[in-house]
């Protein structure tokens, strides 16, 4: 007869064994470039779950960040994703341990006498559980992990060892905890027989030791791992900072533009470190630029394999100021930014490969498993479509797609792969990563306008009237903005002044000076495209084609 409360101890031991192993996985990742399975599992889930569920999760997260003012959306979202991934993995560890303990307890009469040599049965069952949990996770990690540089065989052996240790340790702990209770208590004795007391102390001592060890390992592993990661990041940041000194934007193309942004409007040219970032992995890919190659093949006369240097040296460099936006950006959201892109026109690069007459589409594949197609017609008509290797005058940051990404004017970010490795010329179309998940096939950027600021502190006098400067942005992909209008408290629409934009494809900064009236007011904005098409003013959610609607801001002045 054993008396281990399986649920409670299963959960507790699950925590005490899983947490330090997660810390060790992290440390091993930082030191030996081995896979960090908790993130792999999360990335895999994001790939295989139905697109609508993913969208709902993302929406909830964005709303949460917005509601509680948790800072810049895409960065905070990545932090939340990472925490979610860690929590989920810990949860799996605890849940599996719980099941293991319940099973062990249920069959305890059978295994009592079983052992293999000196290995008691719970350890054997634990090892088996480790294998059962570990095998799918190892396969998943091998499938989706693109960060780990260690040889695959080493990765698999390491992970197998980790999962077997996990199960073995749980079984070993069970064997220690499930001490037999004397079946026949001597008649008349109080409940706390000496045997039971001794067993309790034994259990407690055991738990204190295991708990102390687990806490130490977790803190040490996570701490050292984090320190190493931070050191790497710092190296990287320093390198960028050194590079940047030479290239901080001066001479912007609209220098001297008559209309000046109202203080508090988002920067017209986004500082590189503030550019939003969206991709399907918890952590960005880090490709090696020296060994990286772009392969162009399929329906071409001459397949090409190009290095980064080839792309930089052998083609004219094209500089374009671009406002990129995520199709998940909500009205007034911050998943949109502007910087200078440099690259080679895709038309020119393709010309070198000799595209065959039967070709109609390009399939662009990324190192993270992302892909999209582009119609050849579009490429042939638009020399601005380019393979970009610089942002803001320096090589793309890893998180923004180093070494190469594509630029397609007028399309949301989801159509524009980063970390490109392959371009296949095809005679048919295919759905891209997000299109397969029910987002718009074309993903043409919507016209949107936003009130960024009502500068109550900046009230000025104009012709004897106090006015409050109000400012923001308007953007319609590559179609340009001809008019921005503001309405206060649902009053008539009045034209704002437009600042000359950085280019035809960037947002336009607008400014409106509102005759001051004390009280609470609501400021609304709408815009018109260059060709006279008005912004869609009724509200649509981001999915499937990008959000539409009027942006409003209320302020008490």
Q: Which residues are at the interface with Mo ion (CB under 5 A)? A: 278, 326, 413-414
Q: Is 411 in the site for ligand MTE (CB under 6 A)?
A: no
Q: Is 414 in the site for ligand MTE (CB under 6 A)?
A: yes
Q: How many residues does the chain have?
A: 557
Q: Which of 387, 383, 377 is nearest to 423 (CA)?
A: 387
Binding test (CB under 6 A) with ligand MTE, winner from 78, 105, 266, 277: 277
Q: What distance in Å separates the CA atoms of residue 29 and residue 141, rounded to the nearest whole number?
A: 13
Q: Report the SS3 class of residue 179.
A: coil
Write down the least CB distance from residue 289 to ligand MTE, Å: 16
> Out of Mo ion, ligand MTE, none, which partner does residue 306 contact, by CB within 5 to 8 A per kind?
none
Q: Which residues pair with 551 in a beta bridge?
A: 525
Write down the least CB distance from residue 372 to ligand MTE, Å: 8
Whether residue 336 contacts residue 329, with contact meaning beta carbons closer than 8 Å, is answered with yes
Segment contacting ligand MTE (CB under 6 A): 200-208, 275-283, 441-449, 539-547? 275-283
List of residues 6+ apart from 148 with CB closer than 8 A: 29, 33, 34, 35, 36, 155
Question: In b/e form, how buried is each residue of 392-405, taking b as 16+ CB within 10 angstroms?
Answer: bbbbbbbbbbbbbb
> Out of ligand MTE, Mo ion, none, which partner does residue 370 contact, by CB within 5 to 8 A per kind?
ligand MTE
Residue span 89-128 as binding mask against ligand MTE, x where in contact by CB under 6 A, dash where not: ----------------------------------------
> Out of ligand MTE, Mo ion, none, which partner does residue 452 contact, by CB within 5 to 8 A per kind?
none
HSE-CB at 458 with a 13 A cutoff on CA atoms is: 16
Write down the least CB distance from residue 542 to ligand MTE, Å: 11
- Alpha-helical (H) ranges within 183-289 are 194-245
Q: Is 278 in the site for ligand MTE (CB under 6 A)?
A: yes
Applying the rule CB under 6 A, the residues between 302 and 331 that interact with ligand MTE are 324, 326
> Out of ligand MTE, Mo ion, none, which partner does residue 168 contact, by CB within 5 to 8 A per kind?
none
Tokens representing 437? Answer: 């998940």
Which of 20/333 has CB closer to Mo ion? 333
Q: Report the SS3 class of residue 106.
A: helix
Which of 128/280 has CB closer to ligand MTE? 280
> Locate tokens 């993302």: which residue?
58
Strands 294-298 and 420-426: parallel
Applying the rule CB under 6 A, the residues between 345 and 374 that interact with ligand MTE are 366, 368, 370
Write down the least CB distance from residue 326 to ligand MTE, Å: 3
* Cis amide leading into 544 (omega within 30): yes
Q: Is 279 in the site for ligand MTE (CB under 6 A)?
A: yes
> Out of ligand MTE, Mo ion, none, which partner does residue 330 contact, by CB within 5 to 8 A per kind?
none
Q: Within 10 A of 9 (CB to CB), how many other CB atoms are there?
A: 21
Write down the least CB distance from residue 370 to ligand MTE, Å: 3
CA 28 to chain centre: 22
Write down the least CB distance from residue 97 to Mo ion, Å: 38
Q: Is 418 in the site for ligand MTE (CB under 6 A)?
A: yes
Which of 178/379 has CB closer to ligand MTE? 379
Binding test (CB under 6 A) with ligand MTE, winner from 101, 166, 174, 276: 276
Size of the site for ligand MTE (CB under 6 A): 19
List of residues 6+ apart from 290 with CB closer than 8 A: none
Segment contacting ligand MTE (CB under 6 A): 197-205, 254-262, 409-417, 456-464? 409-417
Whether residue 448 contacts residue 547, with contact meaning beta carbons closer than 8 Å, is answered with yes
Q: Is 147 in the site for ligand MTE (CB under 6 A)?
A: no
Query: DSSP of 56-80, one letter per residue?
Result: HHHHHHHHHHHHTT-SSHHHHHHHH
**Beta-strand (E) ranges in 253-385?**
294-298, 304-306, 318-325, 336-345, 361-366, 371-375
Helix (H) / strand (E) element for 119: namely strand 119-120
Q: What distance in Å separates the CA atoms of residue 261 and residue 272, rounded to the nearest whole number?
A: 19
Distances (CA, A) of 382 to 301, 376, 390, 502: 22, 10, 20, 19
> Out of Mo ion, ligand MTE, none, which partner does residue 275 contact, by CB within 5 to 8 A per kind?
ligand MTE
Segment contacting ligand MTE (CB under 6 A): 10-18, 55-63, 413-421, 457-465? 413-421
> Out of Mo ion, ligand MTE, none, which partner does residue 432 contact, by CB within 5 to 8 A per kind?
none
* Cis amide leading into 239 (omega within 30): no
Segment contacting ligand MTE (CB under 6 A): 278-286, 301-309, 529-537, 549-557? 278-286
Q: Is 416 in the site for ligand MTE (CB under 6 A)?
A: yes
> Out of ligand MTE, Mo ion, none, which partner does residue 411 contact, by CB within 5 to 8 A per kind?
none
Segment contacting ligand MTE (CB under 6 A): 23-31, 130-138, 410-418, 445-453? 410-418
Which of 434/514 has CB closer to Mo ion? 434
Rg, Å, the chain Cα set: 30
Q: What distance in Å separates the CA atoms of residue 414 and residue 431, rounded to the nearest whole number?
A: 12
Write down the least CB distance from residue 132 to ligand MTE, Å: 32
Backbone phi and psi for residue 225, each to the nearest 5 degrees, phi listed first: -60, -45
Tokens representing 104? Answer: 């062990």
Q: Is 145 in the site for ligand MTE (CB under 6 A)?
A: no
Q: Which residues pair with 319 in a beta bridge?
A: 342
Segment contacting ligand MTE (CB under 6 A): 119-127, 270-278, 310-318, 382-390? 270-278
> Out of Mo ion, ligand MTE, none, which partner does residue 279 contact, by CB within 5 to 8 A per kind?
ligand MTE
Residues that bind ligand MTE (CB under 6 A): 275-280, 324, 326, 366, 368, 370, 400-401, 413-414, 416-419
């Amino acid at each position: 007869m054993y008396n281990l409360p399986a649920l409670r101890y299963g959960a507790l031991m699950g925590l005490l064994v899983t947490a330090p192993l997660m810390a060790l996985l992290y440390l091993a990742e930082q030191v030996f470039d081995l896979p960090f399975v908790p993130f792999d599992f999360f990335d895999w889930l994001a790939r295989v779950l139905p697109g609508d569920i993913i969208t709902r999760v993302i929406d909830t997260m964005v709303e949460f960040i917005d509601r509680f003012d948790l800072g810049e959306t895409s960065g905070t979202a990545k932090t939340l994703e990472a925490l979610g991934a860690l929590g989920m993995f810990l949860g799996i560890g605890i849940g599996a341990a719980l099941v293991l303990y319940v099973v062990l307890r249920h069959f305890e009469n059978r295994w009592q006498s079983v052992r293999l040599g000196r290995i008691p049965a719970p350890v054997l069952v634990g090892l088996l559980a480790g294998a059962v949990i570990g095998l799918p996770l190892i396969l998943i990690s091998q499938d989706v992990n693109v960060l780990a540089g260690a040889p695959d065989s080493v990765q698999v052996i390491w992970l197998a060892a980790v999962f077997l240790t996990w199960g073995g340790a749980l079984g070993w702990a069970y064997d220690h905890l499930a001490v037999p209770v004397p079946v026949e208590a001597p008649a008349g004795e109080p409940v706390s027989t000496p045997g039971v007391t001794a067993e309790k102390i034994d259990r407690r001592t055991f738990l204190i030791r295991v708990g102390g060890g687990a806490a130490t390992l977790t803190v040490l592993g996570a701490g050292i791992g984090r320190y190493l990661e931070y050191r790497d990041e710092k190296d990287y940041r320093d390198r960028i900072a050194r590079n940047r000194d030479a290239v901080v934007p001066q001479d912007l193309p609209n220098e001297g533009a008559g209309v000046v942004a109202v203080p508090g409007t988002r920067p017209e040219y986004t500082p590189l470190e503030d550019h939003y970032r969206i991709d399907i992995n918890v952590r960005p890919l880090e490709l090696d630029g020296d060994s990286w190659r772009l392969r162009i093949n399929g329906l071409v006369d001459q397949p090409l394999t190009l290095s980064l240097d080839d792309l930089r040296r052998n083609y004219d460099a094209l500089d374009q100021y671009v406002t990129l936006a995520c199709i998940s950006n909500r009205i007034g959201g911050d998943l949109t930014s502007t910087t200078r892109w440099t690259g080679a026109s895709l038309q020119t690069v393709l010309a070198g490969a000799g595209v065959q007459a039967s070709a109609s589409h390009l399939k662009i594949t990324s190192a993270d498993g992302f892909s999209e197609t582009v119609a050849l017609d579009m490429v042939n008509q638009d020399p601005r479509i380019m393979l970009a290797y610089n942002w803001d005058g320096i090589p793309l940051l890893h998180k923004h797609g180093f070494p190469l990404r594509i630029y397609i004017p007028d399309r949301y970010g989801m159509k524009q792969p980063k970390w490109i490795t392959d371009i296949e010329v095809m005679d048919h179309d295919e759905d891209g990563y997000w299109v397969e998940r029910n987002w718009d096939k074309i993903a043409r950027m919507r016209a949107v306008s936003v009130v960024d600021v009502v500068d109550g502190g900046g009230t000025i006098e104009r012709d004897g009237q106090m006015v409050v400067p109000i400012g923001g942005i308007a953007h319609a992909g590559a179609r340009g903005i001809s008019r921005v209008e503001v309405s206060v408290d649902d009053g008539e629409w009045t034209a704002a002044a437009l600042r000359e934009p950085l280019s035809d494809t960037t947002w336009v900064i607008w400014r409106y000076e509102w005759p001051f009236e004390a009280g609470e007011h609501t400021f609304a904005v709408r815009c018109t495209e260059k060709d006279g098409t008005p912004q869609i003013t009724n509200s649509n959610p981001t999915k499937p084609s990008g959000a539409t609607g009027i942006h409003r801001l209320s302020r008490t002045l």
